Amino acid sequence: MEKFEHAIVNPISSLNLLSRAEIEALTNTRGDLFDLFRRCALAILNTDSSKDDAAEIYADYSDFELRIVPQSRGLRLELFNAPPQAFVDGRMIRGIQEHLFACLRDIIYTDIKMAPESFSVQSDATNTVFRILRNANVVRPDVPPQMVVCWGGHAIPRNEYDYAKEVGYALGLRGLDIVTGCGIGAMKGPMKGAALGHAKQQVKDGRYIGISEPGIIASESPNAIVNELVIMPDIEKRLEAFVRLAHAVIIFPGGVGTVEEILYLFSILMHPDNAHSLPVVFAGPDNCAEYFQELEAFLVASLGEGVREHYQIILGNADHVGYTVRKVVQDQQARRRRLQQAYYFNWELVITKDLQVPFVPTHANMASLDLHAELPPHQLASELRRAFSGLVAGNVKTFGIEQVRLHGPYQLRGEPRLLRQMDSLLQLLVKQQRMKLGEGEQDYVPCYRIVD
């Protein structure tokens, strides 16, 4: 396996300006932060990789070493055995270098500069999200609303990737910026397309914002088109950052992770206080009709007919997606201006505590989920999100896989009609190969069982 043996990397200018106390914390007193940074750094250097198994990546690069070299003027990094794709003719690609120091910036800010206790309090989650984004210069005053959040799978067929690129192109031609989870697939396609659209419109400051978090970054290495990378401390703050930054959301087809995101979003949008606050478009190439039918059937069955008000579905016609999104974004602008709301951060959106507190997928927690259609839709959406969060864990996360190995499949209880619909959606995801298989496996082995 080819590796880049040794590199010295100087910080992008602003990171030069660390106080002595900050350098000291990073290099000596806080070994935990250093480990965190080392893991994120490896993921960043592993840019554009199609490998999404974090364990495997860490194993491949077990000899990757990182040193923070304190200097009188600031610090620099020394790397050993780094992934070679981060370099051209022996020099690190500038975009990657910026990602590296963006990551360091966020770790220093979150864990050293901010009084860390301040964000342990849940009531403070929104302020913490805002402060991290502000420190990263992602929220900016006086910028018109033009942030389109794009969600969808990272391991998708070529035609879906091409479609995502076309949508991105249509968005870029209309001057819109892109926010994604910063990996490949539906996270990269829109950015790549938008870059071309921006070029044709002579837009030089197009924004391709990637929001990641330490737990997922290794499976979703930031692609190098991302020109603003932010590392949020956990998945809940990452999701909250997406929805508070968004002026519109496009959702491309994906697997259980994408369904989790959809349920998170609808739990917010169906909250009575959040009427019409954020437009959502489901989009995919023509051959994704079945996918969206099944998805919609599940949403309607669980959340009621009312859910239909909160999204529209567009099949094919990427330019029409661009046109539609531009229009709803303009409506957002008019609305926020009228209500004197900030363009750069959607403070008004009510996000309930259950969406801000991490869900731990033990068998007990999974079994006690309350999956009944009598719940108000936004609460049921939140419960269902937890169920899918557990499925994601049981499929791909270390903790969940281990739980399933020890105790067998998770048991899901609730209203039969609801559970059947959920199962039907999951089987389609399997059929369409949107579920990750373990190494050497031919068929998907479910990590859940529906209990009547």
By CB under 8 A, is residue 73 in contact with a second copy? yes
How many amino acids of this chain bind a second copy (CB under 8 A)?
54
By CB under 8 A, is residue 76 in contact with a second copy? no
Stretches 10-18, 283-291, 393-401, 413-421: which one binds a second copy (CB under 8 A)? 10-18
Instruction: List, in sequence order, every residue forming a beta bridge with 67; answer none if it has no partner.
Output: 78
Q: How far is CA 304 from CA 92, 99, 249, in A?
A: 51, 42, 21
By CB under 8 A, is residue 94 in contact with a second copy? yes
Residues 180-199 that bind a second copy (CB under 8 A): 192, 195-196, 199
DSSP 282: E
By CB under 8 A, is residue 227 in contact with a second copy? yes
In the complex, least distance from residue 306 CB atom to a second copy, rounded to whole angstroms: 28
Here's the x/- map for a second copy, 20-49, by CB under 8 A: it reads as xx----------------------------
Q: How far is CA 419 from CA 46, 88, 300, 425, in A?
A: 39, 51, 13, 10
Residues 126-165 that bind a second copy (CB under 8 A): 126-127, 130-131, 134, 139-142
Q: Which of 34, 344, 388, 410 binds a second copy (CB under 8 A)?
A: 344
Residues 394-433 that bind a second copy (CB under 8 A): none
Contact call for residues 211 and 230 (beta carbons, < 8 A): yes
Contact call for residues 263 and 369 (beta carbons, < 8 A): no
First-to-last C-alpha distance (Å) of the chain: 50
User: What token pair was written down for 28?
Assistant: 């000596």
By CB under 8 A, is residue 323 in contact with a second copy? yes
Closest CA to 150 of 258, 224, 48, 44: 258
By CB under 8 A, is residue 202 in contact with a second copy? yes
Instruction: List, in sequence order, every residue forming a beta bridge with 450; answer none if it has no partner.
Output: 412
By CB under 8 A, is residue 67 in contact with a second copy? no
Which amino acid belongs to residue 107?
Answer: I
Closest to a second copy by CB, 95 or 279: 95
Count of beta carbons in the 10 Å neighbourhood of residue 48: 16
Which amino acid belongs to residue 271?
Answer: H
By CB under 8 A, is residue 224 in contact with a second copy? yes
Residues 359-378 that bind a second copy (CB under 8 A): none
- Alpha-helical segments (H) within 9-78: 20-24, 31-45, 54-60
* Interface with a second copy (CB under 8 A): 13-14, 16-17, 19-21, 71-74, 88-89, 93-96, 98, 115, 124, 126-127, 130-131, 134, 139-142, 173-174, 192, 195-196, 199-205, 224-225, 227, 323, 326, 339-344, 347-348
